[in-house]
Chains A and B, each alone.
Chain A
Amino acid sequence: MFRELIPSLRACAVTFLACAVIYPAAVWALAALIFPSEASGSLLIRKDRSVVGSALIAQKFESDRYFHPRPSACDYRADAASGSNLGPHNADLRKAVAERAAKLKATHEHPAPVDLVTASGSGLDPEITLKAAEYQVPRVASARGIEVERVRALVQKMTDRSGAVLGAPARVNVLRLNLALDDERTGPR
């Protein structure tokens, strides 16, 4: 056993160098060279260089003037992400779903989309389904005082259908949609 100690120590040093130094450095260099924006976290930056957020991370929206993302078990904390981990038979989950449905003013004739009443796995899901966006269109339009059709058209324009062949649903990035919505108000179009 002790005779084996020297080669094992040297093997540790060499493999550490290969796996924890050279390999990450190579990935980092290639990433910075080819995909600099993605490598730094797909950040959306204002004209004054301040960061609005990441296109891949949900942020909290409470105003009626904006589309809302899916519920978050970690209150949209992007440095401490987590899901709810509530089992389907847990009374707490049922209570949370009922409260969210009530807050969305859902009725049995006009039920809430399932992704708007359930917490996402990461608590940071940046997207909602197209149905969940359409559900919120009347609220956003009336809060902004613009025609429903204009908002609906914007939602359609912002819908991401990529990966459909892999089974991904049509979906909308909430932060990008809300940014587009703000542009719509001020823009000349």
Chain B
Amino acid sequence: MDWSLFHPFWAIGVPIALSIPLGRLMARLLDPPADRVGRGVDAVPMFLIRLFGHREPATMDWKRYATALLAFNTTLFVLSFAILWAQNLLPLNPDGKGPLTALGYKDAAGIQHDGADTAVIFNTVCSFVTNTNLQHYSGEQHLSYFSQLGGIVWLQFVTPACGLAVMLAVIRGLRGDRHLGDFYLDTARGLVLVLIPLSLVLAVSLVASGVPMTFDGAVKANTLEGAEQTIAVGPVAAEVAIKQLGTNGGGFFGPNSAHPLENPTPWSNILEVIAIILIPMASIVMFGRMIRDRAHAVVVYGVMAAPLVVGAGIAIWSELQPSPAARGLPVTSGVNMEGKEVRTGAVAGATWSAITTATSNGSVNAMHDSFQPIGGLVPMSLMMLNVDFSGIGAGFLNMLMYIITAVFLAGLMVGRTPEYLGKKIEAKEVKLAMLAILIHPLLICGGTALFAGTAWGPTTVANPGPHGFSEILYEFTSAAANNGSGFEGLADNNPYWNIATGVVLLLGRFPSLVLPIAIAGFLAQKKRVPPSTGTLRTDDLTFGAMLLGTVLLVGALSFMPAVVLGPIADHLTTVVATP
């Protein structure tokens, strides 16, 4: 019997089931009541912030919280830049990897430049500081083990912890707390109470299934036919675990979780795909516990899950179609296997593609560039919406902007002052929310137009016709959504792509973290309005439909023209008939 169609039920059902207890636990651990602070396991993060120089938990207002966030991220940026820049001088480099700048690149005219591209370090640091993990280098070829752990893994832990911290602060603001908490304490709690323990368990399970964890250099093998084969290994399991759990996505090897040493068996595959979405789902459950409004959290959870489920269905259907490349050739009519691995196959590849782009993870177990056009449209659209659980913390903040917009629209329709969780939503909040929403399409459409219209784009694409345009569109979408997956045929390691996507990465991350803190700060100061019969409910199906409609409408209006030029046109192209 063919069980492959059961795969999505495991991949989506298990994390939904696990998210409920984990979300409750996270609410208890990350937002303890005043009399539990520093007691029990909370003593560990309290000890850490003492090392940071905070004797007592600080009471930060929104400005101080945002400043602490930006200061910490600026420091991260500078230090990780230094680590990557100096990798050839640092230890743990058994294969003698040279400086990252020595990669070189081909310019728009096709001329090779060697050792001139510091922009790749800029891009990599932007990418990892923003919890994105867009990779214009290839891990096993270009990074030393020190860079993998000290540059990459470090940022893969602290950036989702920052996202989670901001989410906690914003929820406290919505709840009407007197202050938003202590940024450093929230970050430390996320790290030592959630991310590190879960990663440790996952990493050891992955080693059991065959993911390497060693500090020895690459292995020289003498193959059965007598050839030499160099097999890159390294501290892979530690990195794969947090890349999955922290909505990071940046793998140890170039092909990410399609590589058999990152994802060796169907069992490792299911563990990894569950790990992608577990914490983003659990964080919404945590939100419901913190505001003591389960029904509203269920509505938000449902609105986030709906596009994911529909998208996964479309992607699976699309990848089960035979590839047009084999039409009429003496090949068994099967699924689209180009760029996929036998142990996972088409269904698991398509399921993963939807889950990894609904969340802002961006790891892959199949090459999206070789998907059918409609199969490739699914991950692209989920990144354009950017609210289907999305990044840890960041996804909730994006959705909050849509909630404020939806409440505002609904208020206009029925002619009442819009309210959310008992707080009046006024012009100032709506303006900031619209700004946060509109940055996203501006970055994607603006960047794509610039590169498609100049030589920077067309000279770097790997596939002709509309598919080439899709590669450019996908790259900017992935950068703006802080996702990190790619249509990897694109020759994106040159200064134009490195600088452009680096800037997009930063603008896709920090405004959408800081603006919600500001909104939460304003809302926290407002008096709570007791609910009356005229209050717009935010915990029923009507509001769910309103919210989903707002998300889809903004998405469709912003991106439909670009999508028609790319994947839709690609889908309608007939295959070139060659013998």
Contact = CB atoms under 8 A, between A and B. Distances in A.
Contacts, number: 408
Contacts of B141: 79-80
B200 A12 contact: no
Nearest to B490: A85
A146 interface: no
B138 interface: yes
A6 interface: yes
B7 interface: yes
B480 interface: no
Interface in B1-51: 3-7, 10, 48, 51
B278 interface: no
Interface residues of B, number: 130
B337 A171 contact: no
B253 to A, nearest CB: 6
Given A31-B213, A39-B213, A53-B221, A122 B255 contact: yes
Given A57-B260, A112-B332, A38 B200 contact: no
A180 B369 CA distance: 36
A2 B302 CA distance: 43
Given A10-B51, A41-B233, A131-B332, A83 B153 contact: no
A159 interface: no
Interface string A63-100: 10010001000001111111111111111011101100
Interface stretch (B338-346, B423-431, B555-563): B338-346
A51 B578 CA distance: 43
Interface in A135-189: 162-169, 171, 175, 178-179, 182
Given A7-B52, A27-B203, A125-B341, A114 B331 contact: yes
Nearest to B207: A31
Interface string B229-241: 1111101011001
A79 B231 contact: yes
A77 B270 CA distance: 27
29 contacts: A4-B68, A7-B52, A15-B188, A19-B157, A23-B200, A27-B200, A27-B241, A28-B213, A31-B213, A40-B216, A41-B212, A43-B219, A56-B261, A57-B261, A78-B232, A82-B488, A83-B370, A85-B489, A87-B370, A87-B373, A90-B464, A97-B331, A112-B331, A113-B334, A114-B333, A122-B341, A124-B260, A168-B265, A178-B224
Given A56-B261, A122-B253, A166-B10, 18 more contacts: A5-B75, A6-B53, A15-B154, A19-B156, A23-B157, A27-B207, A40-B212, A53-B231, A60-B225, A81-B254, A82-B138, A106-B331, A121-B339, A127-B342, A128-B342, A162-B266, A169-B342, A178-B224
